[in-house]
Amino acid sequence: MESIISVTSLKKSFKTLHVLKGVSFNISRGSIFALLGSNGAGKTTAVRILSTLSKPDGGNASICGYDVVSQADNVRECISLTGQYAAVDEILTGRENLRLIGSLKRLPDVNKKADELLAAFRLEDAANRRASTYSGGMRRRLDIAMSLMGRPQVIFLDEPTTGLDPQSRIATWDMVKALTYEGTTVFLTTQYLEEAEYLSNHIAILHEGVVAAEGTSEELKTVLPQGSIQLDFLNSTDAINACNLLKEYRISFNKENDKTIDVTTDGSAVQFADVLTRLNYENIHIARFMQKLPSLEDVFFKLTNEKKEVEQS
C-alpha cells in the first residue's frame, strides 16, 4: 500500500539524553499505526518531530510527500494533532470551539462542518454548553472533533484515552476506527496494549531509542515462540502428579486453585500432543484443558525487559 508517512533513522537528543537513536518505519495511507513504549521511551518526541513542533538531530521524515523540516508548512496543511490533554477553550461552547478552528483554517461552510462533527461525536445535546461543563470523555471527543475540521489526511493522537473511564475509552476507540473509513490515516501513541491491539493495523514497539519490533498484532506475537497449556484436574493430587511427570517443562501453579497448572511449551502441536499423551498414558485425568498463546502484553514486556505490574484500580 502507498506510504503516507516515511521515517528513516530519526534521531533526537536533549543534551546527554539520547531519546531517539535511529527510528525508522513506514505508515500506509488510511491505516491506524500505533507506537507503543514505556513512559520516557520517546513516543511524544517522535510525534513532535513529525508534527513539525520540533526538529530532529538526524535522519529524515516525510508526510504526504513533504519533508517535515524543509517543507514544514506543507506538512501542517495535511496533518492535525491531538495532544495528551484536551486543548479546548472552556469559556466557549462546543459549537464555538469548532467554529473557531474552522475560522482559523479559513474553511468554507464552517457552521455546516461544525454541526456534522457535533453529530458524529455525539455532542449535539451539549453543543451550546460551555466546554467547562463537559466530562473528560466529552472534552476528549470535542478535542478530536476539532482536529478533524478541514479533513486532515493524517491525525496524530498522542495517548488520546489517558485518564478516561472505561466507557469513554471504548467510545473513543470506536470514533478513532471510524476516522479511517473516509481515508484518514491515524498515528496513535499509547501505553494501553489492549488499545493498540483493538485499533491498529500496524504496531511498532519503541524501546531505548529504537524500534525493537513492528508488525501486526499477530505478527508481533510470533516474537515469542512459547505458548502454554492450562490444565484443570479433578483434584490437587493429580495436579502434583502431573507436575512430576512433566518436570522437563516449565510449570506454574494457579495461585487461586491448586487443581490448575500452566505448562509452558514452545507453542507447537508436537509438544501440546506430548503433554496430553503422557497424562493419558499414566491415567491422570484432566477435567479441562486450554491452549494459551502469547499475548501482545507478553511480547511488550519481553522486548522492553519490564516486569508485569498489576494495575491499581
pLDDT digits (tens, 9 = 90+) for 131-145: 999 988 888 889 888
pLDDT at 210: 93
The whole-number average pLDDT for the span 233-238 is 92
- Position 284 pLDDT exceeds 60: yes
The whole-number average pLDDT for the span 180-189 is 90
User: Nearest CA to 217 among 308, 161, 163, 297?
Assistant: 297
Q: How far apart are CA 85 and CA 199, in angstroms?
A: 20
Same domain, residue pair 110 and 186: yes
Question: What is the number of domains present in the chain?
Answer: 2
Instruction: Give the count of beta carbons closer than 10 Å to the beta carbon of residue 249.
Output: 19
For residue 91, the number of C-alpha atoms closer than 13 Å in the C-beta half-sphere is 1
Residue 309 lies in a domain: no
Residue 312 lies in a domain: no
pLDDT at 23: 96
pLDDT at 227: 73
Q: What is the CATH number of the domain that holds 97?
A: 3.40.50.300
Q: What is the CATH number of the domain that holds 280?
A: 3.30.70.100
Task: Indicate the pLDDT class of residue 313, thresholds 50, 70 and 90.
Answer: very low
Of 117-121, 199-203, 299-303, the poorest mean pLDDT is in 299-303
Residue 250 lies in a domain: yes
Cell of 220: 508481533
Query: Which is more confidently placed, 191 or 45?
Result: 45
Task: Indicate the pLDDT class of residue 29, thresholds 50, 70 and 90.
Answer: very high
- Position 192 pLDDT exceeds 60: yes
**Residue that finishes a domain, picked among 203, 221, 239:** 221
Same domain, residue pair 92 and 125: yes
- Beta-bridged to residue 82, according to DSSP, are 157
The whole-number average pLDDT for the span 228-236 is 90
Residue 266 lies in a domain: yes
Task: Indicate the pLDDT class of residue 242, thresholds 50, 70 and 90.
Answer: very high
> What range does the domain containing 183 cover?
3-221
pLDDT averaged over the chain?
88
Cell of 276: 496430553
pTM of the model: 0.77
Q: How far apart are CA 128 and CA 94, in angstroms?
A: 6
